[in-house]
Amino acid sequence: MNFKFRHKRITGILAVVPAREQSFVEDMKHFNFPIARSLKLKEVMGYDKHRIVEPGVCVSDLAVAGLEHLFKNDLLHPDEFDALILITQSPDYFMPPTSNVIQGRLNLKHDLLCLDINQGCAGFIIGLMQAFSLLEQESIRKVVLINADVLSRKTSPKDRNSYPLIGDAAAITVVERDPEDTVIHANLKMDGTRNNVLMIPAGGFRLPSSPATAVLEDVGDNNLRAKDHLRMDGSAVFNFVQIEVPRMINELLKYAGATLNEIDYFFCHQPNRFMLQKLADKMQLPYSKMPSNVVERFGNSSGVTIPVTITSNLRDRLMHEQFKVCLAGYGVGLTWSAMLLDLGKVKFNTIIEYK
Amino acid sequence: MNKPEFYQRLAEILDVDELQPESVLRDFDEWDSLAVLSVLALADSKYGVTIRAEEIRSVVTAADLADLVEAKQK
């Protein structure tokens, strides 16, 4: 389905990554797998370094650190935003909402709409759509969108399918009204029949965590994981992305009356370099237009990868220049979504480390 | 489908110099989830067909795999 938003823009992006950097060579020691094959995996998928939180670090810790950085550096004032949206799959608690935890820790005002949304790899685009909709209210001047996940804590170090690519991160995006008559187009699709392709089976109310759900099981190819761990059907995800994403982007371009050539960058969710290069091949795009370097530098942090791709690839350039960009997120749900917008002349676009 | 070309591409995925149609895939050390994913990508990019991982895992020889891809093209 198609969406259209007017008079809205992104005015700043801050990414927060854990200072702790783990290397694939370290990870390999935990795999029950020939070293040569692990190195092949590294080469093909583009695994190298990923950022992982220290034990016990939660989503609200990363989010609070990011907001404090913005407040301290006069990039955002605590009283100038009226909604705080948190997109996460790894909340601090089942209840209360983690957005309220963040509000409380920072003593933010009571006239503030706090909202948790459970979304994954398409979570940046879904969050932007929510932010744009909220900005239709006169009382909402700015929206702070936070994407954050610490899924390394739910990933088995003995699972070669998921662990080498997982990363933790948060991103804070400020969204506000644009006096210019800008138009942003988006497309979104969901398929709940494939909800089991990416999931953490245990820990919710259907299958509460117990000693039994913590037992590591051999799930084939000498990969070990428990029901408490994240699991991903990698080949199903691969096929899903190669089939649905080019189709969706074409549909979006048609709806927006735009062509592939006029897009400066495709900032896509970052599952791994392999999948992104295959996607670029299929869409006949040069790799330079579709950055795929986030997994090797930071890891796949689910809904946070798109803002991390933007901050790490454009840095200060985004403060002075403007680009026509296409965002695309795809994953858990299954959900796939794309957005076409002008991005640039922002107040900040940077990455900080969480220590 | 150009079969010799397909076997050559499969040989590259399995890190061997050449491959016979009757070669049994699971006899190769390299026949793992990464190889399966590489075959999915090959089928998609060079032959324009989508194969599911389960379908690949059920084939025995290189020739079976070639037949699977070819059948999907029709």
Distance CA(A349)–CA(A27), nearest Å, equals 31
Q: Which strand ranges, in their side-by-side order, compose the sheet holding A348-354?
A: A113-117, A83-87, A142-149, A169-177, A8-18, A348-354
Q: What's the average model confidence in pLDDT over A123-133?
A: 98
Residue whose tokens read 């939180």: A53
Q: What is the CATH number of the domain that holds A141?
A: 3.40.47.10
Sign of CA dihedral A82, A102, A121, A94: negative
Give the pLDDT confidence of A59-113 residue by residue, as tens digits.
999 999 999 999 999 999 999 999 999 999 999 999 999 999 999 999 999 999 9
Contact B33 A234 (CB under 8 A): yes
What one-character DSSP code corresponds to residue A194?
G
pLDDT of residue A249: 97
- CATH dotted code for B3-73: 1.10.1200.10
Is the pLDDT score of A221 beyond 80?
Answer: no
Q: How does the average pLDDT of chain A come out, rounded?
A: 95
Q: Which pTM value belongs to this model?
A: 0.94
Q: Would you report the helix, strand and coil content of chain B in percent, each value rounded to 5?
A: 60, 5, 35
Contact A242 B44 (CB under 8 A): yes
Distance CA(A170)–CA(A156), nearest Å, equals 21
Contact B37 A234 (CB under 8 A): yes
Q: Does A204 touch chain B (CB under 8 A)?
A: no
Choose the weakest-confidence range: A65-69, A122-126, B35-39.
Answer: B35-39
Q: One-letter amino acid identity for A8?
A: K
Residue whose tokens read 């644009």: A178
- Would you mind telling me the total number of residues written for chain A in this entry? 355
Angle, CA of A213, A219 and A223, to the nearest 5° = 105
Are the C-beta atoms of A145 and A192 separated by less than 8 Å?
A: no
Per CB-CB distance under 8 Å, the chain B contacts of A37 are: 29-30, 32, 34
Distance CA(A210)–CA(A232), nearest Å, equals 21
pLDDT of residue A234: 85
- Listed by start position, the domains of chain B span 3-73
Q: Does A263 touch chain B (CB under 8 A)?
A: no
Minimal CA–CA distance to B13: which of A148, B21, B32?
B32
Sign of CA dihedral B51, B55, B57, B63: negative
Q: What's the average model confidence in pLDDT over A326-352?
A: 97
For B44, which residue in chain A has the nearest alpha carbon?
A: A242
Who wins on pLDDT, A26 or A195?
Answer: A195
For B56, which residue in chain A has the nearest alpha carbon?
A: A235
DSSP A44-105: HHT--EEE-PPTT--HHHHHHHHHHHHHHTTSS-TTS--EEEEE-SS-S-SSS-HHHHHHHH
Distance CA(A208)–CA(A227), nearest Å, equals 10
The encoded tokens of residue A180 equal 């210019």
Range of the domain at A254: 1-355
Contact A238 B33 (CB under 8 A): no
CB within 8 A of B31, min separation 6: which ones?
B14, B25
For A219, which residue in chain B has the nearest alpha carbon?
A: B33
Contact A278 B41 (CB under 8 A): yes
pLDDT of residue A2: 97
Chain B residues bordering chain A (beta-carbon distance below 8 Å):
15, 29-30, 32-34, 36-38, 40-41, 44-45, 50-53
CA distances from A278 to A115, A199, B32 (A): 36, 24, 20
3-class DSSP assignment, residue B64: helix
Give the pLDDT confidence of A222-240 residue by residue, as tens digits.
889 999 999 998 889 999 9
Contact A238 B38 (CB under 8 A): no
Distance CA(A236)–CA(B4), nearest Å, equals 28
Q: Does A96 touch chain B (CB under 8 A)?
A: no
Q: A154 to chain B, minimum CA–CA distance in Å?
A: 22
Per CB-CB distance under 8 Å, the chain B contacts of A243 are: 50
Domain count, chain A: 1
pLDDT of residue B1: 86
Cα diameter, chain B: 32
Q: What's the average model confidence in pLDDT over A173-187?
A: 96
Is the pLDDT score of A26 beyond 80?
Answer: yes
The encoded tokens of residue A56 equal 């016990």
- How many C-beta atoms lie closer than 10 Å to residue B71's C-beta? 10
Give the pLDDT confidence of A30-62 residue by residue, as tens digits.
887 788 888 888 888 889 999 999 999 999 999
Give the ipTM.
0.82
pLDDT of residue A64: 98
Distance CA(B6)–CA(B11), nearest Å, equals 9
Give the pLDDT confidence of A269-325 residue by residue, as tens digits.
999 999 999 999 999 999 999 999 999 999 999 999 999 999 999 999 999 999 999
- The closest CB to that of A282, out of B37, B40, B45, belongs to B45
pLDDT of residue A279: 93
Confidence at A205, pLDDT banded by 50, 70, 90: very high
Contact A235 B29 (CB under 8 A): no
3-class DSSP assignment, residue A50: strand
- How many C-beta atoms lie closer than 10 Å to residue A151's C-beta? 24
Give the pLDDT confidence of A155-167 residue by residue, as tens digits.
999 998 889 999 9
Per CB-CB distance under 8 Å, the chain A contacts of B44 are: 239, 242, 278, 282
